[in-house]
Amino acid sequence: MNAQNKEKGFNRFTHSIRNSWAGLVDAVQTEDAFQQLLLAMSALLVVALAVDVTKIERIILVASCFFLLVVELLNTAIESVVDRISLEIHPLSKRAKDIGGAAQLVAIVMVIIIWFMVLI
């Protein structure tokens, strides 16, 4: 679909949701790291709902879990784009992938700090 025929209004919204859902399903089905993270975050969500904390602390615990999933999805998207451009080893490709991985590492450290501060 070119720019002149681009959907508008509610059709654009529903089309966008379908594409987003397809991306999520693809990540769940094909990405080992996302599957492992989803499993770990599912366990953390159960813990977040079971522990005796304030409502705002519970929201922060849950939000941190979703944030980690978002960063993993973005990291996966970066890796896919880099691989789409070329599978040839290139310093800029390595840099893009490494920085995406660094974002995931920072997010993991953030989640650990948040959980530690709320629960301890």
Give all domains of the chain, ordered by start, each with its CATH number: 32-119 (1.10.287.3610)
Catalytic residue among 7, 72, 79, 88: 72
| pTM of the complete model | 0.84
Where are the alpha helices (H) located in the chain, listed in sequence order?
9-30, 32-50, 55-85, 91-119
Per-residue pLDDT of the chain (120 residues; tens, 9 = 90+): 455 567 788 889 999 999 999 999 999 999 999 999 999 999 999 999 999 999 999 999 999 999 999 999 999 999 999 999 988 889 999 999 999 999 999 999 999 999 999 999
Q: What residues have CB less than 8 Å from 29, skipping those under 6 apart? A: none
Catalytic: 57? no
Cα–Cα distance measured from residue 13 to residue 120, given in angstroms and rounded to the nearest whole number: 42
Q: What residues have CB less than 8 Å from 26, skipping those under 6 apart? A: none
Whether the Cβ atoms of residue 46 and residue 70 lie closer than 8 Å to each other? no
